[in-house]
Amino acid sequence: MEKKLIYLDNNATTRVDDKVFDAMLPYFKEEYGNPSSIYEFAKKANHAVKEARGQIKDFLNAENEKEIIFTSCGSESANTAIKGVLEVNKNKRHIITTKVEHPCVLNLYNTLEKQGYNVDYIDVNSNGELNLEQLEAAINYDTALVSVMYANNETGVIYPIQKISEIIKSKNKETKFFVDAVQAAGKIPIDVQTLGVDMLGISGHKFHAPKGVGALYVNSKTMITPLIVGGHQERGKRAGTENVPYIVGLGRAAMEAQDNLKYEMTEVKRLRDKLEANILKNIFNSRLNTSVTNRVPNTANIGFEYIEGELILLHLSDLGICASSGSACTSGSLEPSHVLRAMNVPFTSIHGSIRFSLSKYTTEDEIDYVCEVLPGIIDKLRNLSPFQDELEALKNLKAVVRS
Amino acid sequence: MWDYSETVMDHYRNPRNVGKLDDADAIGIAGSLTCGDQLKIYLKIKDGIVTDAKFQTFGCGSAVASSSILTEMIIGKTVDEVKKITNKDIADKLGGLPPEKMHCSVMGYEALEDALKNYGHDDMTDLDDLREEPVREKIVCTCFNVTENLIWDAIKQNGLKTVEEITNYTKAGGACGKCKALIQDIIDTYYHKEEKPVQLTAAQKIIRINNIIEKTISPELQKDGGDITLVDIDGNKVMVKLRGKCLGCKNSIHTLKSFVETTLKDTVDKNIEVVEVE
């Protein structure tokens, strides 16, 4: 019997789309020329990179192709943008970001703090929404950069980028704005001109391109120094021979993602909502870690009180179901998710928090199967818990609320 | 994904002896909800022999497996035999645990130790009261409430030699990291790397304080963008100046007292007082 695989961890990585894979293949063994070479044979590779650049420009609605830099991943996009812009504005020493950014960005800011930068980390409320007043108040003459993610990887909460952009421009026109849009790409439309951002990073493997390729948008008014210095590739902003097949894959995946946005916001959302509603209805010790409507359509983050997340994941994994957890145990670090802690998710629930993230490949049958097996798993694990009295009280409370 | 042994997987999939014993003769508890794992163990003891054992665990796969196999290991054994069980025995019986998960086996050992410590006391009724009890042992890691004793035991039972190993086995130092210098001290003391002189001359004391500030305290503060310099020493009064990000930091008093002063007290003289000067 073939082992079942139900992949609900698409915020971690996604399956490469068949069309993307097929588009990449010729550039490994047939059209393997270096785009910088001048002979006829390399032209196809050169054109392919150009075409992909155009596709990413369209995907983000950038003004022109020159604003797109291909990178190796989301972390490289973020590092290029942040370090690049600070290097150009060396006299400014203040940065604003949020408490819930992805670790690739947060760890970079921790490093910059040690180098003498002042970094303000903006709070979120219990629903994961940013404190915009705090952000506005923090901007001053010395602020080189504001950096906010478009959507949170753990909760899916979407941040009001356009509004933040307006706030920044009204307080300090010289302050640059970087947006980590890794979790937004392919899930919601991205329009860098309407958003008014200066820089925005994406990563291919989150929207059905392969791992190892990403892109950074830098608008024509923003100067950055390169992170990787060497050849003249990417207009001197990122040295290194272009990763042609992967860049082709990224371009193709962007096209597919653009076409798929409507499906994402209707069908994927419907399945996500079904999963959430079912779990909350049938499992008394479950709680939605954020319920805001302004979330990417594929993400659900649910806490199971008084039981531990890794144990849930291991039991799901035994049934072929893949998800992830904000618990300390799964991360290898000893502390639970910094995002859920910033939201003040109670400790009864934070260690038992599970993130389900769907994709266009998720089927109704798969969601039904998870809804069918999950209550049994949670029931088994509840019985292991030393917090039986607390669970009993919670059960009674929920029964009262429901009646 | 963790590389769990077949035995670990078997035990978290099919945990043995789950539940509580209403008429338990000894109950032990380790860990807490805040820290992410907690184990309660219930023992029935008759004529010096553990006749039954049950457990309830809030924790990951290896925590459940450690608890489950522990109950199997102790049923039918005498109390004296049970007292000899170490965290290493639990981990070995499980066919090993990933290094980062060794603290789960330590939790099993802690709960067992806790149960036997309370065994024989008449007032052993409500377990939850234990949590309110004043702490008898010095807490080294305040994030995870790890005592000096537990670290000492972990070193002794497992031959640990580095701070990282201590973190894997006890969690100490795994969050804010402020106690890493203290953990290193415990390791050094255990292996007699650094003899602590009983009585220091005034000159020895000054050199020692200066060395510790320069080599241990200052690098830690620098990690957070701050720094410290020694200004003067008058008897047991150590005058320092905080610099960098420590200046004007609202936690600076806390840093001075709980980190700088504690470190100097532990390594030089327990009567040392640290004061900040302008």
Do residue B60 and residue A308 have CB atoms under 8 angstroms apart?
Answer: yes
* Cα(A323)–Cα(A176) distance, integer angstroms: 36
B127 has a chain A CB within 8 A of its CB? no
* pLDDT tens-digit readout, A339-370: 999 999 998 999 999 999 999 999 999 999 99
Find how far residue A315's CA is from the centre of its chain.
Answer: 26
Nearest CA in chain A to B223: A114
Q: ipTM of the predicted structure?
A: 0.89
Task: Return the active site residues of A.
Answer: 329
CA distances from A126 to A96, A204, A315, A338 (A): 20, 31, 29, 13
The CATH class for the domain spanning B139-190 reads: mainly alpha
Q: Where in the sequence of chain B do the CATH 3.30.300.130 domains occur? A: 202-276
CB contact residues (below 8 A), chain B span 5-64, against chain A: 12-13, 15, 18-20, 29, 33-34, 36-40, 56-61, 63-64
What pLDDT is recorded for position B195? Answer: 52
- Does the distance separating the beta carbons of A116 and B36 come in below 8 Å? no
Q: What is the reported pLDDT for A331?
A: 57
Assess contact for A195 and A164: CB atoms under 8 A: no
pLDDT tens digits for B58-84?
Answer: 999 999 999 999 999 999 999 999 999
Contacts of B48 (CB under 8 A, 6+ apart): B78, B79, B80
Give me the tens of pLDDT residue by residue for chain B, a chain 278 residues long: 688 999 999 999 999 999 999 999 999 999 888 888 899 999 999 999 999 999 999 999 999 999 999 999 999 999 999 999 999 999 999 999 998 888 899 899 999 999 998 786 544 444 444 444 334 467 888 788 888 888 888 888 888 989 988 888 888 888 888 888 888 888 888 888 655 556 777 788 888 888 888 888 888 888 878 888 888 888 888 888 888 777 767 677 777 877 888 888 888 888 888 888 87
CA distances for B244 relative to A52, A390, B23, B220, B221, angstroms:
47, 46, 59, 13, 9
Backbone angles phi, psi at B90, to 5 degrees: -65, -50
The CATH architecture one would assign to domain B6-132 is: Alpha-Beta Complex (3.90)
Q: Which residues of B are catalytic?
A: 35, 104
Class in CATH terms, B202-276? alpha beta
A353-357 and A299-304 beta bridge pairing: antiparallel
pLDDT at position B233, please? 85
Q: CA quadruple A88, A93, A97, A103: dihedral positive or negative? A: positive
Which residues on A lie below 8 Å from B167 (Cβ)? 334
- Residues from A contacting B (CB-CB < 8 Å) are 113-114, 116, 306-311, 314-315, 317-318, 327-330, 332-336, 347-348, 351, 383-388
Q: Are A367 and A274 in contact (CB under 8 A)?
A: yes
**Secondary structure of A6-41 as H, E, C letters:** EECECCCCCCCCHHHHHHHCHHHHCCCCCCCCCCHH
The per-residue pLDDT for range B207-247, each reduced to its tens digit, is 888 888 888 888 888 887 888 888 888 888 888 888 877 77
Torsion angles phi and psi, residue A333, rounded to 5 = -80, 170
- What strands, in cross-sheet order, belong to the sheet with B49-58? B26-32, B37-46, B49-58
pLDDT of res. B250: 67
Q: Which of residues 181-210 of B touch A (CB under 8 A)?
A: none
Touching check for B98 and chain A: CB below 8 Å?
no
Go through the domains of chain A in sequence order and give each one's CATH number. 6-11+261-402 (3.90.1150.10), 18-257 (3.40.640.10)
How many Å lie between the alpha carbon of A347 and the closest alpha carbon of chain B?
6
Q: Is A123 exposed, middle or buried (0-12, 13-18, 19+ CB in 10 A)?
A: middle
Residues of chain A found within 8 Å of residue B174, distances taken between Cβ atoms: 333-335
Helix axes B148-158, B102-118, angle to 10 degrees: 120
| Strand pairing class (A94-98; A118-122) | parallel
| Weakly modelled stretches of chain A, pLDDT under 50 | 1
Residue B240 CB partners (closer than 8 Å, separation 6+): B213, B228, B229, B230, B231, B256, B260, B274, B275, B276, B277
CB spacing of A330 vs B224 below 8 angstroms: no
Q: List phi, psi (to 5°) of B140.
A: -90, -50
What is the pLDDT, as a whole number, of residue B120?
Answer: 66
Every domain of chain B with CATH number 1.10.10.1100 lies at 139-190
In chain B, list all ranges with CATH 3.90.1010.10.
6-132
Assign residue A39 a region (left: φ > 0; alpha: ψ between -120 and 50; beta: otherwise).
beta
Q: How many CB pairs lie under 8 A apart between chains A and B? A: 78
